[in-house]
A and B are shown apart, each in its own frame.
Chain A
Amino acid sequence: MTQNYFELFNLPEKFQIDSVKLQENYRSIQKEIHPDRFATSTENEKVQSMIKSTQVNDAYQTLKSPTKRAKYILSLHRSVEKITLPPDFLMQQMEWEEHLEDIEKKIKELDQFKLTINKKYEEYSLMLSTQIDNDQNWNEAAITIDKLYFVEKLLHKINIALN
């Protein structure tokens, strides 16, 4: 696909995104091109609608998720390199993981932990919007993305433990 995902959904290329508009435009497009609209059409239209609909889904998934969106913006500006996270964050990761294991069955502590991690999530998101939208500091942003990704997965684990 040649086109930029932001252009596809008619949005400015920013990390801070109008998610309502993204969703609205995604839906409007799928209503026109989804394979269900071409169920009795010619073979070539069926094929093309399948291809476009797939691409639009992929683009939407990418822009909807903050980590994927940030990675996508970076990929437009900088070649992909392996990131090494700073040692203090690696230590922090281990502490969080251990803490989760310790409190796995304790609802109250889990709720508390969730609040803490949610705050971290907000913090990194904010940091990313500064690094990407204002400073265009791709190298710093790359590190923050990995941190955000870790925190996102941790939140998911906490939620599973809470169930």
Chain B
Amino acid sequence: MALLQISEPGKSTMPHEHRRVIGIDLGTTNSLVASVISGSPAILIQDDKSNLLPSVVYYSKNTVQVGNEARDHQSNDAENTISSVKRLIGKTIDDVNQVNFPLNLSDGDGVINIKTSNGMKNPIEVSAEILKMLRTVAENNLGGELMGAVVTVPAYFDDAQRQATKDACQLAGLNILRLINEPTAAAVAYGLDKKSMGQFVVFDLGGGTFDVSILNLSKGLFEVLATHGDANLGGDDFDQAIVNFLNNKYKLNIKDIEVQSMISILAREIKESLSNKKEVEILKEINGKEIKETFTQQQFKALVNDLIEQTLKATKNALNDAKLSTDQIDGVIMVGGSTRMPCIQEAVGNLFKQDLLNDLNPDEVVALGAAIQANILAGNGQEDILLLDVTPLSLGIETMGSIVERIIPRNTTLPIAMAQEFTTYKDGQTAMIIHVVQGERDLVDDCRSLAKFTLKKIPPMVAGAAKIKVTFQVDTDGLLSVSAEETTTNEKASIEVKPSYGLSEDNIKTMLQSSYDLAEEDKISRALAETKVEANQLIELTQKALDADKDLLSDSELTSIKNDLKDLINVLNSSNNDKIKEATKQLNTKSEPFAAKRMDRSIQKALTGKSINKLEF
């Protein structure tokens, strides 16, 4: 960690320091890391000069390998070679079809457990290994510790999958600036390249997930109008179609993990060859059986026609939600390695009757967009762009008869908070179970269950008299928190929860600490340094805020903030971590109403020159 440079508050004339930030595309098949270097986004290259890191982790008794090295074990030690872990993250064992995974999977109390020679691993830990590797690549390329990262997720990921991805980042020691949606990231990469305006479709078919987003681009604003997709549809399924065909024809023993793995590899080779050849000939021996086959593009198309139709249907649904028709679309951006398949290009081209935008490398475009966004969030960039994304799936709670009552509909712009009132159905009822679900279907069983919690200490009343206000809040990472309170009495019964999936905050902290294995002294000095950085930043920014807007404060408010500011400056040079923290918190709390007033002023400023009559907020 660099030494702290403490300057007199308000006199900081240091030019703004360039912060080291990265964008990560954590993919089903491959992962990439990118950063904005000298003004343009670039993929960061690994030691072996490759830009793609295969999302494969290999566990042996004492070692962990990631990437190409790990993939080499796929055919000889399939059970310990974990690929496509993105298809398992944030899921329970009941959500996955185990036949598709040549691994030993079991239920691990809310998460999936994967049995390896290195012990039980869950998808969060496996993903963290990939992220750690990317972090190392980035630190080597950029020459130092990272300030933060923007990590992409499929737009159609649900709350559990997003939270699990965030947990994996934390486990990998990455400071998450934002989770952003893959299609939106791709649009950013294209938008900046072309200074585009209008309505755009991003068609993103990756290795294991499919997203389609409709965006409006105007003057640096990327507004997502609608998103649709399938978090379980991707290139892997196109491979699987070939696997099934071969199995049916040659009666191979797919129960055997090694055989299953060999056919999967063969299927992928066939698919990839067909992306630039009209036909491909196969001659291979698997499990003592000779496989001799000639595949043409036409044959392949017939095998995967249902999958193609699914992507088109989702695209039409997204257009419908955005209230647009195909002829109102100004451009179609193709993203994800699977869009290289000629049958996909043809189908999407036919639907929109226009040439597709695919001049940026479909494997790289998401990471590049994430890097641009990271650069903006860190305050490095001059670009004036803003992303307004949406909830991909409706959020609601279970009501009588296992019916879902929607609280936040899908395609609502983030951040958002919405509330709904419910009541008790029994006389004297003092508790209420709140079951949070996500999905578009009316019945609870058809939706994804996110959390279940109980609001207790409701004052006893006759049925229907209590008013339970349930509030859902979704932040800019697309993550949900829920609160519930009884509002008719002063004795407030209330509860606030953030759904967690198998791993608690404490779990992650313990795992993190053990992975760092720092000496106790190091931990203390590290913590103190971090506290000081935060305090110093608060001092500087508060001073700036006062310089700009102190007229918003009354004399007493101003004095009070100044006093807290002085207190913080006074304790800053001590080495008392707790005191600095306390003073930081004090100043933060005291400045909150000031921050609110400044925000109101920003709103006013935003509309100046547009004849303000009366503006208070």
Give the interface of A toward B (CB within 8 A).
Answer: 1-3, 7-8, 10, 25, 27-37, 39-45, 47-58, 60-61, 156, 159-160, 163
Contact = CB atoms under 8 A, between A and B. Distances in A.
A78 B327 CA distance: 43
Contacts, number: 132
Nearest to B603: A29
A2 B616 contact: yes
B595 A47 contact: yes
Given A33-B603, A35-B476, A42-B588, A52 B537 contact: no
A3 B617 CA distance: 5
Contact of B542 (A36, A40, A42, A48): A42
A47 B598 CA distance: 13
Q: Which of B219, B386, B475, B614 has the most CB of A within 10 A?
A: B386
B418 A58 contact: yes
B379 interface: yes
Report the contact-size class of chain B (Cβ under 8 Å from the partner): 35 or more
A39 B373 CA distance: 11
Contact of B615 (A7, A33, A43): A7
A163 B325 CA distance: 11
A108 B448 CA distance: 37
Nearest to B216: A23
Contact of A163 (B218, B317, B595): B317
Contact of A61 (B178, B412, B541, B617): B412
B612 A10 contact: yes
Given A7-B615, A44-B592, A48-B596, A29 B607 contact: yes
B50 interface: no
A54 B388 CA distance: 12
Contacts of B589: 44
A105 to B, nearest CB: 15
A8 B473 contact: no
Across chains A and B, which 9 residue pairs bring their CB atoms closest together, nearest first? A39-B377, A32-B602, A28-B606, A48-B595, A163-B316, A32-B606, A44-B592, A44-B595, A29-B606
Nearest to A56: B603
Q: Which of B320, B412, B413, B417 has the most CB of A within 10 A?
A: B413
A40 B611 CA distance: 32
Interface in B569-617: 588-589, 591-592, 594-596, 598-600, 602-603, 605-607, 610-617
Given A25-B606, A54-B415, 10 more contacts: A7-B615, A7-B616, A8-B603, A27-B221, A40-B377, A57-B415, A61-B412, A159-B320, A160-B320, A163-B316
B378 A31 contact: no
Interface of B: 19, 177-178, 218-219, 221, 223, 313, 316-317, 320, 376-379, 384, 386-388, 412-418, 473, 475-476, 537-538, 541-542, 588-589, 591-592, 594-596, 598-600, 602-603, 605-607, 610-617
A43 B542 CA distance: 11
A89 to B, nearest CB: 24
B418 A36 contact: no
B607 A10 contact: yes
A104 to B, nearest CB: 16
B610 A25 contact: yes
Contact of A31 (B317, B596, B606): B606
Contacts of A163: 313, 316-317, 320
14 contacts: A3-B617, A27-B218, A29-B602, A31-B221, A34-B386, A35-B476, A36-B386, A40-B19, A40-B377, A43-B588, A45-B598, A52-B603, A53-B415, A58-B418
Contacts of A32: 602-603, 605-606
A146 B221 CA distance: 34
A161 to B, nearest CB: 10
A53 B606 CA distance: 13
Q: Which of B178, B376, B377 has the most CB of A within 10 A?
A: B377
Contacts of A44: 588-589, 591-592, 594-595
A39 B380 CA distance: 12
Given A47-B592, A48-B592, A54-B417, A10 B599 contact: no
A9 B69 CA distance: 57
Contact of B413 (A40, A42, A51, A60): A60
Nearest to B539: A42
Contacts of B386: 30-31, 34, 36-37
A111 B548 CA distance: 58
Contacts of A40: 19, 377-379
Nearest to A27: B221
A40 B589 CA distance: 17
A33 B541 CA distance: 16
Nearest to A29: B606
A49 B542 CA distance: 16
A10 B613 contact: yes
Contacts of A28: 606-607, 610
